[in-house]
Structure 1
Amino acid sequence: MAARLTDLQIRNATPRGKAYKLTAARGLCVMVMPNGAKYWRMRYRYGGKEKMLALGVYPQVGIRNAEQQADEARALLLSGTDPAEHRRQSKLQLRAKVARTFGQAAEAWFDFKSQRWREPTRLKARMYLDKDLLPPLSRRPITNITPVELTVVVERIEKRGAHNVAKKSRQWLHSIFDHAIATGLLEGTNPAQYLSAVAAPAPQTNHHAHLTLKELPDFLSKLDAYPDTSIPKAACKLALWTANRPGVTRTLLWSELDLDEGLWAIPKDRPGMKRGYAHVTPLPRQAIAMLRDLHAFTGHSVYVFPGRNDPRKPLSDGGVNVMLRKIGYAGRQTAHGFRHLISTALNERDYNPDWVERQLAHGDPDEIRGTYNKAHYLEQRRQMMQDWADLLDEIRGSGKPRP
C-alpha cells in the first residue's frame, strides 16, 4: 500500500517531459503535468471499468481536503453510486437552482394570477413588481432569498411613506413564494410568511376633510355666490348631488348620461373608478336641470367638465379643491370629503345602510345577489338622492337643515 503523500513531496515534484503520478494510499494520487501544474485525482472502479475522479488543483486543494473528498467518494461507491456521476448530477441541480430566479417565479405568478384579475388590479400588480420588487430581487436565485432580505426590500418601501404599497407588497411576496412552492420552483418554507411580524405601523389615516350638516348653510351660500360659469362649481354641485368619487365626476363623459331617464352609467373598468367597478347613479331633478343647461356650454367636448385650457382633456385633478380654497374652505372641505359628508347625513337620517353603501359604490356590484333593481337598489336610491337634493335646497332657503 502506498504511503500518505506529504506537502514536501508534492512541492518538490518537478515537471518532466510527460505527465506522471505521485501515488498515495487507496487510489489517491497527484498528476504532475509538463507545465508544472499539479492535479489531485482518485482512481476507482465502477461497473467493471476503471475511472478517474478529479479532486482539484494543488496547492489550492490541500492534502487534508483531497483525502476528505476521496473518503466521500469511497462512501458513495459503497452505496452503489458512481462518484463522477453523482458530481455531474449535483452540478446540474445547482445550475438549475441558480437558474430559478425570483424574476422567473414572479412572472409565472403574475401570468397565473392576472387571468383572474380585473384590469386595474393587473396594472397595479405590474407597477408594484416593476418598481419595488423586481429591481432588487429579479436575478436572485429564489432558493437563496431569505426572510431578512425580503424585510429589507419592504422596509425601503415603508421608509418613503408608502405603507399601503408595503402592505400589498408583503401580501404579493407571500403569494409569489407560495406559487413557486406549488409549481416546484422552490422547496421548503415560504421566506415571506413572517413579513407581517416586522411591518412598520402605518400612520393614522387622516380622513378627507369634510363639513358637518350644520356647516352646510354657509358653505352653500358661498358656493352659490361663485360665478355660474365655473366648471369646478358645476362639478362640485354634481358631487354633492350624487356622492360619486372625484375622479369619475371630473372625467364624466356626456355619453355616460341619460338625462331623460335621469341616470349616469359608469362602465366597468372606467378610469377613475376604484377597482374598476361598474356603477349606476340616479340623478335628482336638480342635477338633470343643471346638466341640461351645462350642455350648451360644454356639449362640444366629450367631457361634461372639460379642462380650462384644453376641452379635449377633463377638468384637472385639483380643480374643485382650488375652487373650495378660493371660497374659504381650504383644509375644511375637499372634493372627496363630500362622500363622507353625504354618507354621514344619509345614515343619520336612517336610510337603509345598504342603499347608502351602493350609492357610494362600495363593493363589487357583480357579487351582489339578486336581480338588477333589487341588488342595486336603484329606485330606492333614486328617491333617497332626490330627498337629499331637496334637503340641500331647503338649507339654501332656510339657512339651516331640518332635524
Structure 2
Amino acid sequence: MSLTDTAVRQAKPIEKARRLADALGLYVEISPAGGKWWRWKYRFGGKEKRLALGTYPEVSLAEARNERDKARALLKAGTDPSAARKLGKARSSISTEANFEGVAREWHTMKATGWAESHASTTIARLEKDVFPWIGKRPIREIDPPELLVVLRRVEERLAIETAHRLREICGQVFRYAISTDRATRNAAADLQGTLQTAASGHHAAITDPVQVAELVRNMRGYRGSPVVRTALQFSALTFQRPGEVRAATWSEIDLDAGLWTIPAARMKRGLKEKLNGQPHLVPLSTQAVKLLRELHPLTGHRGGDGCVFPGERGEGRPLSENGVRMALRTLGYDNETMTPHGFRAMARTILDEVLKERVEYIEAQLAHTVKDPLGRAYNRTTFLPERIAMMQRWADFLDALAQGVKLKAA
C-alpha cells in the first residue's frame, strides 16, 4: 500500500524509530525526535543497501519517488546508486586544475565498485603511503615524468621494486583518467617505461631441486619458533595454496575427518563476480596434513569454527602476519631470492609435473588455476577431486621420503 502526503505529514514520533513504507523499496523513517528521513532499500552485489533521499518536508513524497526512480534506473543499468552518488560528489569537489590526490580518489571510487574489497583497499593504501604525501596536492596537469620518477625512486630505495612498478601502473591509470576527463594532457607514468629497476625475477623464488627440497623439509620440521608458524610452514608445503589463503584459514573451513579444506570463493584470488557467486575451492588434505592440524587444534582450535587455524601473536582473532612464514624461512637461512612463501606453489607445480609425472590438469586444478577441456570450456572447480585426493597423498608421501633420504623413482 502506497503512502500519501497527508499520512507522512501527520505521522507522529514514538519512543523508537519507525518506518512507513511506500512502494518499490521507498520508505520514510521517523526518529523519536520527530525527524522524517526518506530512504530507499535495494540490493547490489548480493548485499542489501540503503540510499538516503533527503528529509521531509524539504523533499516531498513526489520528489522522493522521483529520486527513487532515478536510482532504480542506475541499478537496472548495473551501477550501484550509492557509488554513483559518491562519484558525483567527488567530481563536483574537484576543479579543472585538480590535484593528483583528488583525481586519484575519484578514479578509485569509480573503479572500486567492480573490484574485490581487498584489492580496492590495497590500491588506495599504496597511494596514501607512497604517492599522496609527495605529489598529492600538486595540480595533476603540472606533474611531469621526472617529478613522478623521484616519488617512485623513494620506493625503490627501500628495495620494494615490485611495489614501485605497481605504483607506476596505478599512477598511469590515474593519469589516463585525468586525460579522459580533461584535467591533464600527458601521462607522466607512461613516459617512465623502462626507467625503474628490474626485479630479479618475474616469478616468486622457489626451490625445485629434489635434493634441496629434502633439506628444506627437514629444516622446516626442525624449526624452533612457535608451533603455529612451524605448522604453517609444513602445511604450506603440503597444500601449496596461496600464502594469504593459508594464513586466513579458519577451523570452520577444515573437515579433519573427511580430510578436506573448503576455501570460500570470497577468499580466493578471483574477480569480484567469482568471489560473490563462484564455487569454493576444495583442497584435499593428506594424512600428513591432517596429522599436523590435529596436533595444532588443542592450541588454536578452542575458539570454535570461526577461529584462525594460524593465529598471529598479537591476538587469536587475527591471522598470522603476512611476514610470519617469510621470516621463518629467513631464520632457516632462505633469503628472498631463494625461497618465498609463494614459492611452495612453484615447487609443487614443478616436481609434480617433472618428477612425479602427474597430469597437468590435476595440478592446475589443485593450484586453483582455470582448467579447460579440449573444447576450451572451463571445468567445474570440483572436477578431478578423487584424482586430486590421490595426488595430494602421493605428494605428501614423496616429501616424507625425501626428508628421510629415500630415493624414489619417478612415476
Q: TM-score range by the shorter chain?
A: 0.5 to 0.7
SS in structure 1 at match of 2:165: helix
Question: Among 132, 137, 158, which residue is 2:130 paired with?
Answer: 132
- Kindly provide the CA deviation profile for residues 197-219 of structure 1, in whole angstroms up to 9, marking residues without a partner as x: 5x223241385353632345555
- For 1:305, the equivalent position in structure 2 comes to 310
Gaps of 5+ in 2: 1-93
- For 2:359, the equivalent position in structure 1 comes to 352
CA distance in 1, matches of 2:406, 2:172: 55
SS in structure 2 at match of 1:265: strand
Contact 1:120 1:275 in 2 (8 A): no
- Kindly provide the CA deviation profile for residues 17-40 of structure 1, in whole angstroms up to 9, marking residues without a partner as x: xxxxxxxxxxxxxxxxxxxxxxxx
The verdict on how the C-alpha distance between 1:289 and 1:154 changes in structure 2, with shifts beyond 3 A counting, is closer
- For 1:53, the equivalent position in structure 2 comes to none
Contact 2:229 2:325 in 1 (8 A): yes
Question: Among 267, 284, 287, which residue is 1:285 paired with?
Answer: 287
Matches within 5 A, 1:117-196: 117-186=115-184, 188-196=185-193
- For 1:386, the equivalent position in structure 2 comes to 393
- Kindly provide the CA deviation profile for residues 204-257 of structure 1, in whole angstroms up to 9, marking residues without a partner as x: 138535363234555556666779x94444333322221123443344311111
**Partner amino acid for 2:231?**
A
Equivalent residue pairs, number: 301
The verdict on how the C-alpha distance between 1:267 and 1:292 changes in structure 2, with shifts beyond 3 A counting, is same
Asked if 1:342 is matched to 2:340, the reply is: no
CA distance in 2, matches of 1:212, 1:289: 26
The verdict on how the C-alpha distance between 1:108 and 1:212 changes in structure 2, with shifts beyond 3 A counting, is same
Contact 1:262 1:288 in 2 (8 A): yes
CA distance in 1, matches of 2:188, 2:340: 42
CA distance in 2, matches of 1:226, 1:108: 47
Matches within 5 A, 1:3-402: 99-186=97-184, 188-197=185-194, 199-205=195-201, 207-208=204-205, 210=207, 212-217=209-214, 220=217, 230-270=227-267, 279-301=281-303, 302-306=307-311, 311-315=316-320, 330=334, 335-348=341-354, 349-362=356-369, 369-374=378-383, 377-395=384-402, 399-402=406-409
CA distance in 2, matches of 1:146, 1:369: 45
The verdict on how the C-alpha distance between 1:401 and 1:223 changes in structure 2, with shifts beyond 3 A counting, is farther
**Partner amino acid for 1:120?**
S
TM score, norm. by length of structure 1 = 0.61
Contact 1:177 1:191 in 2 (8 A): yes
Bigger mean CA offset, 105-114 vs 199-208? 199-208
CA distance in 2, matches of 1:309, 1:402: 45
Identity score, percent: 33
Q: CA deviation at 1:122?
A: 0.7
Q: CA deviation at 1:308?
A: 6.4
CA distance in 2, matches of 1:177, 1:122: 18
Greater gyration radius:
1
CA distance in 1, matches of 2:144, 2:327: 48
CA distance in 1, matches of 2:341, 2:359: 24
Q: CA deviation at 1:139?
A: 2.6
- Kindly provide the CA deviation profile for residues 172-217 of structure 1, in whole angstroms up to 9, marking residues without a partner as x: 222222212222334x4444432215x2232413853536323455
Gaps of 5+ in 1: 1-95
The verdict on how the C-alpha distance between 1:122 and 1:343 changes in structure 2, with shifts beyond 3 A counting, is same
Contact 1:121 1:275 in 2 (8 A): no
SS in structure 1 at match of 2:294: helix
CA distance in 2, matches of 1:268, 1:336: 19
Contact 2:282 2:382 in 1 (8 A): no
- Kindly provide the CA deviation profile for residues 336-379 of structure 1, in whole angstroms up to 9, marking residues without a partner as x: 443332222112133233432342345699xx8343324xx434
Contact 1:128 1:169 in 2 (8 A): yes
SS in structure 2 at match of 1:168: helix
SS in structure 2 at match of 1:300: helix
| RMSD, aligned α-carbons | 3.9
